[in-house]
Structure 1
Amino acid sequence: MKLHPLSLPYRLLTRSMSLALTLFFVGTTLAGAVESISIGIVLVLVAAGLLVAGLWEVVYYRRFDYVLTDSSLDIDSGVISRRRREIPLRRIQNVDISRNIVQRVLGIALVGFETAGGGETEASLRFVAYDEARRLQREIQRRKRGVADRDEEEEIQPDVLYEIRSPELLLLSAISIEPRVFGLVFFIVPFFTGMNEAFGGLSFLFGLAQLLLSALVLWVASAMVTFARYYDFTLLRVDDELRYERGLLQRYDGSIPLDKIQTLTLQENPLMRLTGYATLSVETAGYAPGQGPSGGSEAAIPLATRERVLRLAHSIESFDDPTFTRPPKRTRRRYIVRYALVVAGLTGLAFAVDWFTGLFEFWYATLALLVLAPVAGQYQWKHRGYYAGENHVQTRNGFWRRRIHVVPYYRVQTVIQRETIFQRRWRLGTVFVDTASSVGFGGQEAHAADIDVNDAGEFRELVRRRLGRQIQERAGRARMRKTEPEQFSSE
């Protein structure tokens, strides 16, 4: 099958505009540096570049084909070199559909296919009709389940698990921090710098007003981005998969197979804990939250009351209510010492700057932060812990963004105990519970941090034993299901 006919002019227009601006900028820069290069030559180069790009897109469209079979998705593509990909359906974890405003007007969509073990998109169709995108999404899941009759699939009615409410969307927008909006600083600071010089003696007050106004602009921009991202968020359950839809300007439709979920993550910041709200994210072997093509979190619930979040989490995975074991109390002393050393380092830096520049007359004022070191150490210790239930292992970490990870034992890939040189002085260790969606030791994966080194060894072995037990139990059930049809047929 071919891409949608409108994909060719759309790709031509978007790629041509980007290429033309780049070539024109580079050409005018060279024209200013080299006298022999005139604006006319620059325009000729831009026109030649656009012609090559146009021919490239035409050949790309003509040579792109895809076929959905009963067992795989086959894609043939390539302009200079031919590339043939055969993606087994069993490896496809997520099928995501995205559409911006122009694409929605044209009736086309981008379809991304994520596979197990890949942090990036395995393949994408740019672009097909929206109806075709939804058909591919449904057909892939239907064929993975082995449903032979399409009518049987169509009889399954979706169950609405969650719809974001207006108060929740506004609250989420108000308390969310979007890192991408911090690029506005490069536009805000130069704007105020020129005005600051005109205020003379009032420069300090103007600088304070500049700081407050910049923070307000960044907060409003972050709220607008979050509002547009999670507008009309809806989570559905269709048989054995989750489907979500969201977005105001950029619309996303995604599918999350329940049997591919690796980890559930409950997240809360201090304001959420104070008001009784939380978020729930799911991780599959394709990618963890925030790594998907949507650019944001593939959240099961972006924001809801904690009770509502727990109900949905239990409907996905039936896990025990945990009683977390905190790290030993000497860990709290370690945190206090660490924060005190950070304050000492800041004081030393301020002293060095004042020594060479004289800008920080009261460089020792940073020592006042030492009174906060015991408070910070207490809260970091308080919000850490681990729990090993019968079927799931759970860990808790973080104060400003507390994360509770829930991992079924059979999803565990490896269990790793690590002891840094500083931890060994306190006889402490950290146990990482690695799944197929984990992205390394960056603090985002499930881990029991800074626990007694003996407890770490026992916890590691306990997780390994229960992992082996669950794998054996699941293998036994699979053999029983396989032999049941043979018994019936023999009778």
Structure 2
Amino acid sequence: MTQVRTLSAISIPYRVLQRSGSIAFALIFILTGQGGDLPELPVIGVVDSSLIGAIAIVIVLALVGYETAYVRRFQYKLTADSLDIDSGVLSRRNREIPLRRIQNVDISRNIIQRGLNIAIVSFETAGGESTEATLRYVSAQEAKRLQRELGRRKHADGDRRKSQKVDSTEHDSVGGESNTSGSSAGHTASELFTLGDNELALVGFFSIDLRVPGLLVAGISTFGPILTSIVPTASPLRSLLMFIGGPSVLTGGFTALLALLPVFIGVVVLSWLVGAASAVSSYYGFQLTETRGELRYERGLFQRYDGSIPFEKIQTLTIEDDPLKRYFGYATLYVETAGYAPGQGGSGGRGSEVAVPLAQRNRINELIKRIEPVDTIELQRPPKRARRRYLVRAGLIVGVVSVGLFAISVVTSIAFPWWVAVGLLPVGGIIAIALWRHRGHWIGEDYFVTRNGVFTRETRIVPLYRIQTVIDTRTVFQRRLGLATITADTAGSRSLGGSDARAVDISAQRATTLRTELETRLQQAIHDRQEQSQTETTSAADVSLPESDTTPSDESKPITAESDTDDSMGQIGSTTTSDDDHSIDSHNHSGDDNSDDSSNKKAQESDNAKDDTTSSENASVDRDE
């Protein structure tokens, strides 16, 4: 019989203390709001300290009573098919979440919670934009048990469904839940990556928080008049305050700008220190392991996170580096998932989770082969006429900036050093050539790889069967040089914002060939994946043991989830977009309709990739009483 469980008893005082903070702040505000005098209310009159103390005691007692009732009336149980949660004090809420819909179980604990041996457990579901359910708070042992047991039951259910596909009578030979538990529970995790102390220090060294300058500007703009009266006249900070508050500092010309140089350096150093501290605290103790059907990570110093990345939800692998990382031979690996992105809130809003925050390139390549066995990549650069385009673009940018600064200096009589911008022309040329050198693409039997960027270079590896749509884009400037851009759109979280794998500025002939190759190999990859799924299903039915150790097949059927049409063979939509809204294939829409249609397709296809969330079998039941 399934045991009904409740929240940890320690969560009662912890929740009370959490809520008491706001009450204490309100009382302090009342006591100090009259300049130290006790407040006077319309009906009660002057409120003395004894009355305030009595009110505080009543509030605390009411809070303790409510939190006690909430914790004791909060019940949950993990059945063979669903997670049932009953909660609420005055208004009861009953939820039944099918196990197949639960995509991830995240555990988080801060320092105080670790000291009290309690944790927050968050259940994320496919198709949900936010957390489906949260347990605040259970013991750390119970949190790990839920994470482990739910993963075991999901895989046992997947194996049982594979057997039912072949023979409906196979369900009777499974032998019940007790037989599957031993096999699944015995599956051990293998360590893939551990972040050492030296690598953690390098993570901090390569990090900078670009939010610091904006926060400083906002703070100085708000409190600038007060600080100006305090800061000495000769201080560079006073010049900075005047610079933000108005253009008076510019009348000093180039000399005044040099006076601000120490302040700018200080802002850069402060941004680096804040970024380093944030990165070190976020990735302290980072460990990545592989369990059955998923990657599991643990990280964090002050706030400890423990979560998983399902293999079946991985859409794209991204290798990210910058000039400093490339010089020392390091890189960062991101894993982009469909629908829910574990750690999205803590990953810089990328919509993906950091699989490896920092490691040498050879370790990154070894880990990629464990996740996706990609072949040797041989990137093909854009043609040389694309390099000429980048050089012309850099020259135009420098020219526009120089003319703009010169016009400002003439109109406003402010001595702007506009000639400095002209001196940046060689720098712009070097960046343009580097942009051409770092761009490339490659297509293999099973993967499509692109690389773009100089200061932040991204190499994106996309399995062909994950591609939703192939888009051929040619602007008016590209058409003049016979260039085009091929975009491979997936159902990943970042692709909804336009961050797809893109082969930029390749020749028009190569673009046509590449689009055809992507379509053909995509069909072959989908066909091979179908055969592999059918083989695994047949093997699971022929095995005499209660449960097979093979990885569960993808129930979401990538043929429909990764397709651009409703055809069961997974035909993709290959579109060509240009400035005159001309389409060279069957998808011939106007510019506005094409844009809206593409956005709707992305949203629909991302939803389709999330384990058939619209079926009644997987729908969660939420009842309010």
Cα offset, 1:211, TM superposition: 2.0
1:90-489 equivalences under 5 Å are 90-118=100-128, 120-146=130-156, 148-182=179-213, 185-186=216-217, 194-195=230-231, 197-199=233-235, 204=256, 207-288=260-341, 291-292=344-345, 298-355=353-410, 357-420=412-475, 422-440=477-495, 442=497, 444-484=499-539
Cα offset, 1:443, TM superposition: 5.5
Aligned letter for 2:133?
A
Cα offset, 1:303, TM superposition: 1.1
Change in Cα spacing, 1:412 to 1:24, as seen in structure 2 (3 Å) is farther
Cα offset, 1:468, TM superposition: 2.1
| Matches of 1:200 and 1:439, distance apart in 2 | 42
For these two proteins, the number of residue pairs brought into alignment is: 484
Cα offset, 1:79, TM superposition: 6.8
2:279 alignment partner, SS class: helix
Cα offset, 1:100, TM superposition: 0.8
1:298 alignment partner, SS class: strand
Cα offset, 1:362, TM superposition: 2.6
Change in Cα spacing, 1:313 to 1:108, as seen in structure 2 (3 Å) is same
Change in Cα spacing, 1:152 to 1:457, as seen in structure 2 (3 Å) is same
1:280 alignment partner, SS class: strand
Aligned letter for 1:260?
K
Q: Deviations over 1:346-382 (max 9, x none)?
A: 3344345435543343334322222222211111121
Q: Deviations over 1:321-345 (max 9, x none)?
A: 2111222222222222333333334
Q: Identify the match of residue 17 of structure 2 among 13, 16, 25.
A: 13
Aligned letter for 1:126?
R
| Matches of 1:215 and 1:199, distance apart in 2 | 18
Cα offset, 1:214, TM superposition: 2.3
| Matches of 1:212 and 1:274, distance apart in 2 | 24
Q: Deviations over 1:417-468 (max 9, x none)?
A: 3344554454433332222223346453322223234433432332232222
Cα offset, 1:121, TM superposition: 3.1
Deviates most, 450-459 or 218-227 = 450-459
Check conservation: 1:292, 1:298, Cα contact below 8 A.
no
| Matches of 2:315 and 2:332, distance apart in 1 | 17
Deviates most, 93-102 or 183-192 = 183-192
Q: Deviations over 1:144-166 (max 9, x none)?
A: 11175433334333222211121
Check conservation: 2:469, 2:489, Cα contact below 8 A.
yes
| Matches of 1:244 and 1:170, distance apart in 2 | 19
Consecutive unaligned residues of structure 1, counting only runs of 5 or more, are none
Cα offset, 1:260, TM superposition: 2.6
Q: Deviations over 1:122-160 (max 9, x none)?
A: 333222221111111111211111175433334333222
Aligned letter for 1:255?
S
Larger Rg over CA atoms: 2
| Matches of 1:232 and 1:449, distance apart in 2 | 38
Cα offset, 1:74, TM superposition: 3.3
Cα offset, 1:391, TM superposition: 0.9
1:209 alignment partner, SS class: helix
Change in Cα spacing, 1:235 to 1:201, as seen in structure 2 (3 Å) is closer
What is aligned with 1:4?
8
1:13 alignment partner, SS class: helix
Aligned letter for 2:296?
R
Check conservation: 2:210, 2:271, Cα contact below 8 A.
no
Using the size of structure 1 for normalisation, the TM-score is 0.84
1:242 alignment partner, SS class: strand
1:157 alignment partner, SS class: coil
Check conservation: 2:347, 2:354, Cα contact below 8 A.
no
| Matches of 2:482 and 2:34, distance apart in 1 | 61
Change in Cα spacing, 1:121 to 1:192, as seen in structure 2 (3 Å) is same
Cα offset, 1:184, TM superposition: 5.5
Aligned letter for 1:10?
Y
Change in Cα spacing, 1:229 to 1:392, as seen in structure 2 (3 Å) is same
Cα offset, 1:401, TM superposition: 1.4
Cα offset, 1:387, TM superposition: 1.0
Check conservation: 1:289, 1:299, Cα contact below 8 A.
no
Change in Cα spacing, 1:201 to 1:428, as seen in structure 2 (3 Å) is closer
| Matches of 2:334 and 2:292, distance apart in 1 | 20
2:427 alignment partner, SS class: helix
Cα offset, 1:65, TM superposition: 3.7
Identity over aligned pairs, percent: 45
Q: Deviations over 1:253-308 (max 9, x none)?
A: 11222233222111111111111111212122244476255768632211111111
Deviates most, 69-78 or 258-267 = 69-78
Check conservation: 1:438, 1:445, Cα contact below 8 A.
no
Aligned letter for 2:18?
T
1:146 alignment partner, SS class: helix
Deviates most, 456-465 or 351-360 = 351-360
| Matches of 1:30 and 1:347, distance apart in 2 | 57
1:114 alignment partner, SS class: strand
Check conservation: 1:95, 1:255, Cα contact below 8 A.
yes
Change in Cα spacing, 1:64 to 1:395, as seen in structure 2 (3 Å) is farther
Cα offset, 1:186, TM superposition: 4.9
Check conservation: 1:184, 1:218, Cα contact below 8 A.
no
Aligned letter for 1:340?
G
Check conservation: 1:109, 1:128, Cα contact below 8 A.
yes
Change in Cα spacing, 1:458 to 1:56, as seen in structure 2 (3 Å) is farther
